[in-house]
Amino acid sequence: MPPNPLIALVNGRVLGDHGPREGLAVLVRGKRIVAIVAHDDPRLADAQKHDLQGHLLLPGFIDVQVNGGGGLLFNDDPSVETLRGMAAAHRKFGSTGMLPTLITDTAEKMRAALQAVDDAIEQRVPGILGIHVEGPFLANARKGIHNADLFRQPDDEDVEALIAPHKGPVMLTLAPDQVPLPVIARLAGAGVVVVAGHTAATYATTRAALDAGVCGFTHLYNAMTPLASRDPGVVGAALDDPHSWCGLIVDGHHVHPAALRIAIAAKARGKCVLVTDAMPPVGSDHPNYVLNGQTIVMRDGICQNEAGVLAGSGLDMASAVRNAVQTLGLSLAEASRMASSYPAAWIGLDRTHGRMAAGYQADFAVMDDALVVQETWVAGVRYAVTA
C-alpha cells in the first residue's frame, strides 16, 4: 500500500449547508480532504473505500472550552500526557479539535500549561489545536467556581508569556472591569483571542473593551452582568455587538433554552458557538473530581460543589449538537456549523479546519440518526468509538 493512499468515504450522507446529501463520496489523502465527488466519480476506482454504512458524515467538532475529560483535569497536571488523555476522551463524542482550558491558577501553572500545549502540538497529539486560559484576571463578584484568592491583574510577565510565539491559538478569558484597556489592546494586537467572562462590568465598560480588542464572550449569560431595561450589562453588550462571538453551553442546566434562542436570534449568523466547559467526568465512569480543594459531584449531567455552584459541565459536543437540534429547534446543518466552522473562525483556523471542503483537514464525526457518534476521524486517521 502506498504511504498516502487515496481513501474514499462512501455510502454515507454528507452534511451540507442544506442538510444531508446522499450519493456523494469524500476523498481523503493523508490528513487532507482531496475532493467531495459523486459516487460514480472515476477516481473512486483506485481509492481504498471505507463504508460509512449509511451514517451521517459531519465536519469534526471544535470545542474551545475543555477543562478536562476521561477522568483528567488540565489544572491538575498540565502535561502532554494529560492532553493526550483528554483528547482521546472527547474524540468519542466527535470532537476532533479542542482548546484545553486552564482555570484560574498560579502564574507558574499558566506557563506550564502554555508549554504543555505547545509540546503537544509539536508532538502532533491528535485534536490539540491551542489553549484557552480562563483567568486569573477575573472579577470576584462573578467568580463562579474559580478560586478568587488567585485573582489578580496581569503583569508584564503574564502578558509576555501569553503573546510569545505559540504553536496554536491562545484564547484568554478576562474581566474587562479588572484589566486596563491598554493591556487588552496589547494582548489582542499581538494575536491573543481575548474574550470576556466572569465579569461584573457595565455595558459601557464592556463596549470599551470590545473597541479595544475583546472579540467574544465566555459561556454567555453565566458569570456576567445580565441584561436589564436601563442597565444592559455584559449580556446586553454581547447581544448588541454584531462582530463578537458568544460561547453557548447547551446542556439544559446552564442557560434556559429560551434565553439561548434569544441569543441566537440576536446575533449575526456565525457568531454563536457551541462549547462544553467539560470537566473530568466526560468520557469517564467516575462522576466525582476535586477542584480547588472542593469535591465536585456530577449528577444528571450537572457538576456542582456542595453549595450548588456549577463547576463546569458534564456535556460533550455530540450532546451539545443534539440538544441544539432537539431543544432549540435548530437545523442539523446550523447546529453542526456552531460546532465546527464557527468556532474555527473564532480562533482563526477557518482556512484549514471546520469545513468539509477540498484542502481542509480531514476531521469528521460520523453519526447515526439519533446523532450518536459511531466513529471519528482526525487528520485522516479513523478512530472507532467503543462503548
Instruction: Tell me the domains of the chain and their CATH numbers.
Output: 6-58+357-384 (2.30.40.10), 60-346 (3.20.20.140)
What is the distance between the alpha carbons of residues 387 and 384, in angstroms, rounded to a whole number? 10
Residues tagged in the binding site annotation for Zn(2+): 134, 198, 219
pLDDT for 306: 85
Q: pTM (2 decimals)?
A: 0.97
Q: Which residues are catalytic?
A: 277
pLDDT at 356 over 60: yes
Residues tagged in the binding site annotation for substrate: 145, 222-223, 230, 254, 310-312
Geometric angle at alpha carbon 268, from 174 and 313, rounded to 5°? 45
Residues tagged in the binding site annotation: 134, 145, 198, 219, 222-223, 230, 254, 310-312
Q: Are 64 and 53 in contact (CB under 8 A)?
A: no
Q: How far is CA 138 from CA 55, 151, 152, 179, 274, in A?
A: 44, 6, 7, 8, 22
pLDDT for 387: 59
Percent of the chain surpassing pLDDT 70: 99
Q: What is the mean pLDDT of residues 112-130?
A: 98
pLDDT for 2: 61
pLDDT for 19: 86
pLDDT at 295 over 80: yes
Count, residues in the chain:
387
User: Which are the contacts of 55, defined by CB distance < 8 A and separation ≥ 6?
Assistant: 12, 13, 366, 367, 368, 374
**Nearest C-alpha neighbor of 135 from the set 213, 219, 32, 22:** 219
Q: Which of the listed ranges 144-148, 291-295, 301-305, 383-387 does the model predict with the highest average pLDDT?
A: 144-148
